[in-house]
Amino acid sequence: MRIEQLQAFLAVAQTGNFGQAARQCQVSQSSVSRQIQVLESTLGLPLFHRSNQAKLTVAGEQFLPRARKICQEWETAVRDLTELREGKQPELCVAAIHSICAHYLPPVLHAFCRDYPKVQLRVTALGSDRALKVLRDGLVDIAIVMNNRLLTATPEMHVEPLFSEPVRILMAADHPLAGRSQVDWSDLCIYPQVVFKDGYGMQRLVHDLFANADCLLQIAMELNTLDAFRGVVRQGQYVALLPQSALVDALDDPELAVRSLHLPKAQGNESNGTHPLTRQVVLATTQDRLSVPPIARFCELVRQFSPVQAAVSPLDIALLSPLHSDR
């Protein structure tokens, strides 16, 4: 059964004439007759009495409301998909990690609302793994997260790196490690850590870091908001490994200190060298969504405003300033 057959059936039922139905459908009369014959053959019952006027049979009367409903649904589906193709979707849903929502997304959101004022933006702060899961489930259109290949290694997923940023140590201003501008890995390991809850990319990064170094990770507690991290660390007992973008607000807090962490080079690399710990932020969506104009535009804006363009970040400047070093 094809939609053209149902449309021909409705046209004949409305006009009572095969010729008028053909003009309404903008096809030949023979085409309408053939569509009705195939439809009747499929259903196994005649739908019209053939006479000077085409009248519905009992089967035709019973089939009429169902044919109308099917064609209405078809017209609605075609209209909705046309609007989607033309960028007239009602909303765009984004899931992003907390630090991205706080510091990198605001100019993107402002620019997008200017370009698509009729598209309702819905932005949710989630851990990386949770954000990728709701993306796979079709609950959001875009995720800006730390990548998890277990969740994105499928053909329909589109993942592109945006930028990498250093991971720093957050501690109280009077913490024993705060007197150093750079903390050695061996010194960090002896202090209890505050980490993100399960489902956050930073939790995986910290766990992998300690596991690869064959070092015991002393977890004091798990949290999921940056305010909570600052509040707990401010008490002076614990330290936390956090990405650079999550530490901007901590620089203005006289009770907190931010320090760099450098790890020993792996064996086989440059001898006696160190390297900074970093995390990579990616944009994830699905291949089919990239063809939707508002989603494609949002992705373009994310790339445009990505901090990868900055050679030195405000946090780097603050960490190198005499005021910060003496604090």
User: Of the candidates 301, 185, 176, 166, which has an alpha carbon nearest to the alpha carbon of residue 242?
Assistant: 166
Planar angle of CA 178, 179, 184, nearest 5 degrees: 75
Which H helix or E strand runs over 248?
A: none
What integer pLDDT is reported at residue 318 of this predicted model? 46
Q: How many CA atoms lie within 13 A of 18 on its CB side?
A: 17
Backbone angles phi, psi at 165, to 5 degrees: -140, 150
Planar angle of CA 224, 227, 233, nearest 5 degrees: 90
Q: Rg of the chain over CA atoms, in angstroms?
A: 31
> Region 27-45: what's the mean pLDDT?
90
Backbone angles phi, psi at 259, to 5 degrees: -130, 155
Choose between 186 and 308: higher pLDDT: 186
User: Which residue reads 């061996």 in tokens?
Assistant: 186
What integer pLDDT is reported at residue 273 of this predicted model? 53
Average pLDDT, the chain: 86
Task: Kindly give, in sequence order, each residue whose CB lies less than 8 Å from that of residue 40, ignoring residues fewer than 6 positions away.
Answer: 46, 47
What integer pLDDT is reported at residue 88 of this predicted model? 66
Query: Would you say residue 195 has pLDDT above 70?
Result: yes
Query: Would you say residue 310 has pLDDT above 50?
Result: no
Which residue segments constitute the domains of the chain, with CATH numbers given? 3-85 (1.10.10.10), 91-162+280-312 (3.40.190.10), 165-279+316-326 (3.40.190.290)
Query: Would you say residue 324 has pLDDT above 70?
Result: no
Give the count of beta carbons closer than 10 Å to the beta carbon of residue 265. 13
Q: Give the pLDDT confidence of 59-96 residue by residue, as tens digits.
A: 989 999 999 999 899 888 887 777 677 766 789 999 99
Given pLDDT bands bounded at 50, 70 and 90, which one contains residue 53? confident
DSSP class per residue in 99-151: HIIIIIHHHHHHHHHHH-TTSEEEEEE--HHHHHHHHHTTS-SEEEEE--HHH
Query: Would you say residue 191 has pLDDT above 80?
Result: yes
Q: Give the pLDDT confidence of 91-103 residue by residue, as tens digits.
A: 999 999 998 998 8
Query: Would you say residue 266 has pLDDT above 60?
Result: no
CB 133 within 8 A of CB 150: no
Backbone angles phi, psi at 86, to 5 degrees: -90, 5
Query: Would you say residue 129 has pLDDT above 50?
Result: yes
Given pLDDT bands bounded at 50, 70 and 90, which one contains residue 16? confident
pTM above 0.75, yes or no: no
d(CA 16, CA 30): 16
